[in-house]
Structure 1
Amino acid sequence: MTTLDFYLSRLFLLRFLLILVAGSFFILTLDMMEVSNDIAGIEADSELQATLQYALHRFPSFLSQLLPIATLLAALLTLAEMQRHRELVSLWNSGLSPIRIMRALLPVGCLLAVLQFTLDDQVLPETTVQLREWSIGEFGETEQLAGADGKVWLRSGNDYLRIPEESLGAERLDNITLFRRDERGLLYERLDAQSAQKTTNGWLLREVTRLGEAQTTAEKLPVYLWDGQIDPEGLRLLARPPRELSMSQLAGLVSSKSYGQRSPQVYKTWMNARITQSLTPILLIFLAVAWGQDYRRTGTLTRLMIGGVAIGFTFFVINGTSIALSEVGTMPSWMGAWAPFTAMACLIGFLVVRREASEPIQIRTEHSSSGNAA
């Protein structure tokens, strides 16, 4: 790492950490004031300990949400500070290209990308589980999978399973009804079981009442082995928003076709979004550098900041809208996550190329002087 790389990285990281940590603590304070009554219900030795436990589990979610915003603001503030001291003008006039500055900040961007992925894929799935167990604030609102009768319908291959909602995620299912269908989708067997236990080969149903397609009376069976694939851990994930799931959990729900509860399109979209969101800090750093080169000879810091923030937040809005549209099947899952990211990358490339192309080509000529010898 050269002296310039270290200097740019240090300026950026100082502002990034200040914005990220201060902003997260500020939002956390407001959030704790709002849910203070719910925090008091946490089982702990003291109220202070309950508050600290909640803050420890809630803080990572704010870090994850503010990290892209802090990256954009820190990059713009770094360039604005250098512009104010005419450091940026000196760098531009010395022939330093925007691509060179992007390369200098790329290691920091990669570090933030790893941090973003770690928060979203490893930390949040763990912390939100505890928050939902406490049922505090927005985490107390769990999606209802059951109908008015309290039953949940699940799908495994061609078969449909009806179980009580309280059995979701349990290793043993009670009072279940299984409807078996053939390859044409026609019902050929109904099974009512008092309980079902997961085994290595499927589910072992006990005290079964079986009614076949050609039967007029029900048949009583002590046990029945059903080869369906219903994972108890996967059932727990159905009621959680996709953002709170890790990549492996999302992939598991995609492979099981989300047990018929939700379109696999939703989880495919978030698998792609997890990748693009992790790469977003790098993209935003490049955006600030590409946008800042338009102000290499001027001191219009206000326009630099407002313009960069406007472009960045427009990207956030379009990206969120695109993911939402992809979740409902309006566009392919990969397109909902990658289209805004690709469009922003193209805009950054355009800003860099446009400025380079608009610079006049300067040809240096050497002038020699000759004199007559006396």
Structure 2
Amino acid sequence: MKIIYRYLLKELIQPFLFGVFAFTSIFVGTDVLISLAKMMSKYGVPLLTTIKLFFLSLPQIVVWTFPMSMLLATLLSFGRLSGDSEITALKAGGISFIRLVTPVLIVGLLVSGLSIYFSNNLVPASMNIYEDTVWKLKHGKARPKTQKNLRISPVDNKTKKLDYVLTADKFDGNTQTLKGVTWQDYDNGNLVMIIQAKRAEWLEEKWIFMDGIIYTITQDGQVPQTRFNKFNMTENLNRTPEQISRNQKEPEEMTISELREHIDLMEEEGRNVNSLKVSYYQRYAIPFACFIFALLGAPLGLKPNRSGSSIGLGLSIIVIFIYYTIMTVGGSLGEAGTIPAWLGAWMQNIIFTIVGISLLYKASR
């Protein structure tokens, strides 16, 4: 690695770490600590449990602060170099501004990848444990993995008509059992069979209906009945207990692949999944802002009058406010279906990328 690149990276790392600490402290002080203090006073949460909840809330906050910190670090480092005329000296030595920005953009891309990794692994795991712990504190027992009045009604991809309807009085995620089960099977939109069973159990990777009756509806209107003790539903019901219990999770508690699978299942049932799709695309859009802010921050930090730390911090707050305002508007439009969900999630990135490239072009001339 060339000396100038090592020098630039050294200038970048310190303000980046400062930004992570500073922005994390703001989120913690204005949200996390207040919530934990309320829980301590209301539910008598032990100190060790409070500390555990504190650390469990950090991964989500750190993912939020990475883009902000990248912007602050780029503004401060290039502002300092510009204010001390080092950028001018480097240009005089034959080093173009594009070459100076390249290592910063690479770092921004690497931080974006790290953010996606955190968002897909650490955040869902910590959020699950956090929600389970809070539920136990509030209700005095573990969070139930049950769902009452379950209904699944996917649409056949070929005919675009109702495929089947599964209803159950209760789903128990702990025992992987459905109780009070009714199955209605459709062929090209026409009801052809009804199965009623007292329960259904997940055994050897398949659903087994127990103690029930099969009603076969013939073309002449007759409904012969067949009783059974066990009936294998392998070819009919393709939902695993994990897929069924996932309905109770928030998007933040799912990995990216789990959220994608959940969206597909909800779409099969004809449900509105715009909100889930926006959350899915934001899993990539928000981390990618690290790269975009590096692209934007480098030319913004060139002005000598912006070289001060306080000016750089203030400018970064303004840019971040505009970014998240556009993200909120875009997300709302995506959830409402006014624009595609992917565009609603990526709108702020598209706008800031265009602005960043324009500023970079002007700065390199």
Structure 1 residues 38 and 310, CA gap change in structure 2 (3 angstroms): closer
Structure 1 residues 97 and 237, CA gap change in structure 2 (3 angstroms): farther
- Is the contact between residue 174 and residue 196 of structure 1 (CA under 8 Å) also seen in structure 2? yes
What is the CA distance between 1:285 and its match in structure 2?
A: 0.8
- Is the contact between residue 154 and residue 261 of structure 1 (CA under 8 Å) also seen in structure 2? no
Matches within 5 A, 1:103-114: 103-114=102-113
Provide TM-score, normalisation by structure 1.
0.78
- Is the contact between residue 169 and residue 233 of structure 1 (CA under 8 Å) also seen in structure 2? no
- Is the contact between residue 178 and residue 199 of structure 2 (CA under 8 Å) also seen in structure 1? yes
Q: Find the counterpart in structure 2 of residue 370 from structure 1.
A: none
What is the CA distance between 1:166 and its match in structure 2?
A: 4.9
Partner amino acid for 1:23? F
Q: Find the counterpart in structure 2 of residue 353 from structure 1.
A: 361
Q: Find the counterpart in structure 2 of residue 77 from structure 1.
A: 76
Per mean C-alpha deviation after superposition, the further-off stretch among 306-315 and 51-60 is 306-315
- Is the contact between residue 296 and residue 360 of structure 2 (CA under 8 Å) also seen in structure 1? no
What SS does the aligned partner of 2:20 have?
helix
Partner amino acid for 1:133? D
What is the CA distance between 1:9 and its match in structure 2?
A: 1.4
Rounded to whole Å, the distance in 1 between the matches of 2:28 and 2:319 is 27
- Is the contact between residue 23 and residue 68 of structure 2 (CA under 8 Å) also seen in structure 1? no
- Counterpart among 153, 175, 178 of residue 173 in structure 1: 178
Provide TM-score, normalisation by structure 2.
0.80
Q: Find the counterpart in structure 1 of residue 192 from structure 2.
A: 188
- Is the contact between residue 180 and residue 189 of structure 1 (CA under 8 Å) also seen in structure 2? yes
Query: Is 2:219 the counterpart of 1:221?
Result: no
What is the CA distance between 1:85 and its match in structure 2?
A: 3.1
Per mean C-alpha deviation after superposition, the further-off stretch among 5-14 and 73-82 is 73-82
- Is the contact between residue 206 and residue 232 of structure 2 (CA under 8 Å) also seen in structure 1? yes
Q: Find the counterpart in structure 1 of residue 291 from structure 2.
A: 282
Partner amino acid for 1:223? K
Query: Is 2:320 the counterpart of 1:321?
Result: no
What is the CA distance between 1:129 and its match in structure 2?
A: 0.8
- Is the contact between residue 182 and residue 196 of structure 2 (CA under 8 Å) also seen in structure 1? yes
What is the CA distance between 1:82 and its match in structure 2?
A: 2.8
Query: Is 2:9 the counterpart of 1:14?
Result: no
Q: Find the counterpart in structure 2 of residue 368 from structure 1.
A: none
What is the CA distance between 1:265 and its match in structure 2?
A: 4.6
Rounded to whole Å, the distance in 2 between the matches of 1:328 and 1:203 is 37
- Counterpart among 160, 173, 180 of residue 165 in structure 2: 160
- 1:175-223: CA deviation from partner (whole Å, max 9, x where unpaired): 122222222x232333221111224674211111333433468653322
- 1:288-334: CA deviation from partner (whole Å, max 9, x where unpaired): 012234x26x5675776655543343222212332343234332233
What SS does the aligned partner of 1:66 have?
helix
What is the CA distance between 1:55 and its match in structure 2?
A: 1.9
Unaligned runs of 5+ in 2: 157-162
- Is the contact between residue 193 and residue 205 of structure 1 (CA under 8 Å) also seen in structure 2? yes
RCO greater where, 1 or 2, for CA within 8 Å and sep 6 or more? 2
Q: Find the counterpart in structure 1 of residue 159 from structure 2.
A: none
Unaligned runs of 5+ in 1: 358-374
- Counterpart among 280, 289, 292 of residue 301 in structure 2: 292
Structure 1 residues 53 and 117, CA gap change in structure 2 (3 angstroms): same
